[in-house]
């Protein structure tokens, strides 16, 4: 019997992550830069070269997207070029109780990341996803997505600082200085952003844990920028690089076009 093969795609503001899943496990993956003008043909070429995909070999394509501008191309890429049915995940498909004023406003990446964390750990959970934005997402006992926080991402904040400050240099790579007491502007900026976000994460976790039902929450870090602060955190945490993709993979076998 042929094993179902599913392409799972996480479309974020900075990165498009693709993963082929078989039997609910990731076989191989690929990352692309998110561009508003990306075409279905570009996606197909990348999938053929990076994942070895050919037309007609997928059972379905399952997508979690927070970038509506690229969704028409993703649909064509799936249906016309890969010849596979396509599903865009919405909040109703995720088996969590969503305690949010208007669930339609909730970024699907936040919900999928929370669901992805549940595949590793039991609630209560606080997931911290560090990308273009930094999000804190809380899951209480009883599989309840209880809300969270959104703030500018670490690099987004640093880029904004250099754009607004005419005499401030662009900093790359972002490396923590050896001392928090900086003696030059570059170290002052990198130290400020890294140690500042470290303290921000520690402080917000402490405040969130004071909420009823989150006192014993497991902390799960994720996202492409989490590695910049993880070695400086004084709180216990687990690191899962691709929580959102894991959430899509976990859902992919249960939802149908």
Kindly report, residue by residue over 40-76, the tens digit of the pLDDT.
999 999 999 999 998 988 999 999 999 999 999 999 9
Residue 107 lies in a domain: no
159 and 233 together in one domain: yes
- Residues 159, 59 share a domain: no
User: Could you count the other beta carbons within 10 Å of the beta carbon of residue 39?
Assistant: 13
Q: Are residues 140 and 69 in the same domain?
A: no
CATH of the domain at 80: 3.30.420.40
Q: What does the pLDDT look like over 63-122, one tens digit per residue?
A: 999 999 999 999 999 999 999 999 999 999 999 999 999 999 999 999 999 999 999 999
Residue 235 and residue 181 share a domain: yes
Name the band, by pLDDT with cuts 50, 70 and 90, for residue 171. Answer: confident
CA 49 to chain CA mean position, Å: 24
Instruction: State whether 85 and 126 are in the same domain.
Output: no
Nearest alpha-carbon partner for 201 in 179, 224, 228, 180: 228
Query: Which one from 109, 129, 187, 242 is the annotated catalytic residue?
Result: 109
Going by pLDDT thresholds of 50, 70 and 90, the confidence category of residue 1 is very low
**Unique residue bearing structure tokens 């279905």:** 40
Q: Is 216 a catalytic residue?
A: no
Task: Give residue-wise pLDDT tens across range 154-163.
Answer: 999 999 988 8
Q: Is the bond into 173 cis (omega within 30 degrees of 0)?
A: yes
Residue 129, in any domain of the structure = yes
Q: Does residue 98 lie within any of the structural domains?
A: no
Residues 139 and 214 in one domain: yes
Helices (H), the chain: 40-51, 71-76, 108-118, 154-164, 185-209, 227-230, 243-252
Nearest-angstrom CA–CA distance, 70 and 50: 20
Kindly state whether residues 128 and 217 are assigned to the same domain: yes
Q: Looking at the structure, do residues 125 and 228 belong to the same domain, yes or no? A: yes
| Whether residue 69 is found in the same domain as residue 132 | no
Question: Residues, the chain, total?
Answer: 257
Is residue 137 within 8 Å of 127, Cβ to Cβ? yes
Residue ranges making up the domain that contains 73:
5-90+247-252
The answer to whether the beta carbons of residues 144 and 155 sit under 8 Å apart is no
pTM over 0.95? The answer is no
Tell me, yes or no, whether 131 and 207 share the same domain. yes
Work out how many domains the chain is built from and give that number. 2
Give yes or no: residues 126 and 66 share one domain: no
Q: What is the pLDDT of residue 105?
A: 94
- Mean pLDDT of the chain, nearest integer: 93
Mean predicted confidence (pLDDT) in 135-139: 98
Is a pLDDT exceeding 70 seen at residue 2? no
- Burial string for 112-139 (b: 16+ CB within 10 Å, else e) reads bbbbbbbeebebbbbbbbbbbbbbbbbb
CB atoms under 10 Å from CB of 92, counted, come to 9
Answer yes or no: do 176 and 219 share one domain.
Answer: yes
Kindly tell me if the per-residue pLDDT of 3 is higher than 70.
no
Average pLDDT (135-150) is 97
- Encode pLDDT of 209-246 as tens digits: 999 999 999 999 999 999 999 999 999 999 998 999 99
């Amino acid at each position: 019997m042929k094993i179902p093969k599913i392409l799972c795609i996480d479309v974020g503001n900075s990165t498009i992550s693709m993963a082929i899943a078989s039997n609910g496990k990731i076989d191989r993956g690929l990352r692309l830069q998110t561009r508003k003008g990306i075409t279905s043909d570009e996606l197909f070429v990348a999938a053929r070269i990076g994942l070895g995909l050919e037309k007609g070999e997928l059972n379905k394509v399952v997508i979690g997207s927070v970038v509506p501008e690229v969704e028409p191309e993703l649909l064509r890429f799936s249906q016309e070029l890969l010849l596979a049915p396509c599903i865009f995940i919405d909040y109703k498909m995720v088996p969590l109780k969503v305690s949010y004023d208007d669930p339609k406003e909730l970024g699907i990446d936040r919900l999928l990341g929370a669901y992805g964390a549940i595949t590793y750990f039991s609630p209560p959970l606080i997931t911290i996803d560090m990308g273009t934005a930094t999000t804190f997402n809380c899951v209480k006992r009883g599989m309840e997505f209880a809300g969270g926080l959104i703030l500018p991402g670490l690099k987004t904040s640093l880029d904004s600082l250099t754009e607004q400050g005419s005499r401030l240099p662009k900093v790359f790579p972002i490396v923590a200085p050896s001392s928090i007491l900086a003696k030059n502007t570059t170290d002052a900026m990198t130290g400020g952003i890294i140690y500042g976000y470290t303290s921000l994460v520690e402080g917000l976790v402490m405040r969130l844990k004071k909420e009823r039902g989150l006192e014993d929450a497991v902390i799960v870090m994720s996202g492409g920028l989490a590695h910049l602060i993880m070695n400086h955190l004084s709180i216990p945490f687990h690191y899962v690089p691709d929580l959102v993709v894991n959430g899509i993979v976990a859902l992919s076998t249960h939802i149908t076009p």
